[in-house]
Structure 1
């Protein structure tokens, strides 16, 4: 009986040792598997963040370049329009000044011959006033443009 008892005592610790070592192996493999998945997920998150940041920088650079090009085009167009308007106003002012000078000469002539022609003198004065009014409006418009 003693042999039976000894055998059972020896077999029990051997079986429990095998069970413990196999549980440790399973726990170690499961732990390694979990760590591997966590590392893969962290790598995926990092890679996604890096890629999205890179794409965002590229899009920002393209947008900045396009915006700068559009601003330069608009500025050139604006400067061209302003120059064209300024030239037009200067031409109109020169024309009005020549008209004013012509009217002044006519008024001077009319005053010299004003014995019976006071109606012509009044007409010339009103025309002169209108021309001066237009000249002042054009000067104001030119000042606003500048």
Structure 2
């Protein structure tokens, strides 16, 4: 019985070396899979973040362009109104000077013209303030 004992002690068992090696390879394989999965998730999240940033940038640029065009339209409309009111003020001033020259003490037309002129000036001031706010 002794020879069988010697053969086991002198030669390493193949079962022990075979069992250790596949376990190491299996663990190494799963470690590689886990690391690759983590890297893939990280890369994909960065890709999604870049896409969202690009979409938000494009959307904000579109909104800014719409706001800019709306602002320019309102500003041009207000400037047209201001020029129209300035023309009305000028015509009222001319009419007022004409009526002052031709009026006598009994007529009440000059007071009406002054009242109309004051109303137009108030409207002009309001429009000027709105235009200043838009700037």
RMSD: 2.6
Distance in 1, matches of 2:130 and 2:90, equals 16
Q: CA deviation at 1:38?
A: 0.8
Change (3 A) 1:38 1:102: same
Q: Return closer, same or farther for 1:129/1:14 CA change in 2, 3 Å cut-off.
A: same
Which of 22, 27, 48 is equivalent to 1:29?
A: 22
Structure with higher RCO (Cα < 8 A, 6+ apart): 2
After TM superposition, the structure 1 stretch with the greater mean CA deviation from structure 2, 119-128 or 21-30, is: 119-128
Q: Taking structure 1 as the reference length, what is the TM-score of the superposition?
A: 0.73
Number of aligned residues: 135
1:56-90 deviations in Å (ceiling 9; x for gaps): 21222122122212211221222122111211222
User: Aligned partners of 2:120 and 2:64: how far apart in 1?
Assistant: 40
Point out the structure with max Rg over C-alpha: 1
TM-score by length of structure 2 reads 0.78
Provide structure 1 residue ranges, at least 5 long, that are not aligned to the other structure. 1-7
Describe how 1:1-146 pairs up with structure 2 within 5 A.
8-16=1-9, 20-110=13-103, 113-114=104-105, 117=106, 119-146=108-135
